[in-house]
Structure 1
Amino acid sequence: MASTDSRRADSARDRVVAAARDEFARHGIAGARVDRIAKAARTSKERVYAHFRSKEKLYEHVAAAELAAAADAVHLDPADLPAYAGQMFDYFTAHPDRYRFIGWGRLELVPEPSGEPDADALGSYHDAILGKIETIRRAQRAGDLDPTWDPVDIMAVVSQIAHTWLDQAELAAVTRHAAADPTLPARREAVIRAVTAIFPPVRRSQHDGR
């Protein structure tokens, strides 16, 4: 049985992680302040650094958990990319704070276009993206996806379409007045239609054996 001290330590660590998630989602990595995280977690800066060596390490820890949660909620089926885009739309529309959190990592951890990717800096993002790209590549080899596309481009195009309404807040605001159907389901349907037009899902017969 865990001791009282260890339970308290776990509780304090959990509070730090929760506070850090909110702080990073609001302010990004550079703008986040450890003193604010400590205050929200009802602990001290010293205790935060005792659990995590630096603000960047704290972000990496929370990012790994956020990516794991997204992976559990959004399943990549390369034979049905429209459904994947719909799942991404649903998940991040329901959790815009999580989208902002991950967005800050993309902005602040990814190097300039002229630079080489730094796997250590990208951390969990690097591994998650590579895993999805390899899944797409296997589907192309199996004949479930157009092999003339580069898997990296497929990943980029589908993700961008799925995130359209989160990335363009100003357009989303105008939609309420300008769209023929201003509802969220209509935006979701547009996402699915767009991805379907580029990457139609595989139609398998019952006799395919797959």
Structure 2
Amino acid sequence: MKKPAVKKRPRTRTNDPDRTQQDIIAVATEEFSEHGLSGARVDNIAERTRTSKRMIYYYFKSKEGLYLEVLTNYYKTLRNAERNLNLDDLPPLEALTKLVHFTVDFHNAHADDVRLVIAENMQRGRFIKTLPSLEPINSVVINAVRRICERGAAAGVMRDGIDPIDLYMSIAALSFFNISNRYTFSIIFNHDMESAEALEKRKASITDTILRSVGR
């Protein structure tokens, strides 16, 4: 009796290198977020992307090279999304509100990336400091916040002398906490931090805190 043919698992199309690399980066983000750089396994990434370790090393040179690309991709994705908010087209307080809402929603939607940033901070920025290309990428949002502050002060709806880096740090920190401390805080205080209702209430609270902090 003839044995049925064994179905081969389809592999990632190699004639679309950009798509292949993005698939690898997406899966690698989860792997590095879950296990850190030392615990992540390229074998797992290759299997989940239905590609090969050889191809991964061809594109990214090493596991560390892939990790650096994952970090770069996170910041590029975040900053490109912020740029598309078109904050300069809105009145200052509306622009600030939109940025706060976006930042909270982005972190909630990219929890793996938050854990990735936490892991890099645990290593004291060992790898991210080797990426000088990140400075111009990240300066975009600070310049946008600076313009909001300048327009707000000129319109009399925001106080003078607000440091844009400090303001953005506050927005990012409040948004980040809901992911970075979600499990411990929820257990310690028996507090829901994951439902849609809880997330909306938290976003409203963060927005109110930020707007009050910039008022005259």
Query: TM-score w.r.t. structure 1 length?
Result: 0.70
Separation in structure 2 between the aligned mates of residue 29 and residue 126 of structure 1, nearest angstrom = 23
The yes-or-no answer on 1:89 pairing with 2:97 is: no
Please list every run of 5 or more consecutive structure 2 residues that lacks an aligned counterpart in the other structure.
1-12
Task: Give the conservation status (yes or no) of the 8 Å contact 1:29–1:108.
Answer: no
Alignment length, in residue pairs?
A: 187
Distance 1:76 1:125, change over 3 A: farther
Local SS of the residue matching 2:114: helix
Q: Does 1:130 align with 2:131?
A: no
Relative distance call for 1:133 and 1:14 in structure 2 (3 A) is: closer
- Partners of 1:73 and 1:172 lie apart in 2 by 29
In structure 1, list runs of 5 or more residues that go unmatched: 112-117, 203-210
Match of 2:32 in 1: 24
Pick from 185, 189, 192 the counterpart of residue 176 of structure 1. Answer: 192
**AA of the residue aligned to 2:185:** L
1:58 aligns with 2:88: no
1:157-192 CA-to-partner distances (Å, cap 9, x unmatched) read 121122231122222442239xxxx73221111111
Instruction: State the structure with bigger RCO (CA 8 A, min sep 6), 1 or 2.
Output: 1
Shift of 1:93: 1.4
Deviates more, 1:84-93 or 1:168-177: 168-177
Identity of aligned residues (%): 23
Q: Which one-letter code corresponds to 1:175 in the other structure?
A: H
- The normalised TM-score by structure 2 is 0.68
Question: In angstroms, what is the RMSD of aligned CA positions?
Answer: 3.3
1:106-152 CA-to-partner distances (Å, cap 9, x unmatched) read: 443626xxxxxx97524554333322223333444454654423332
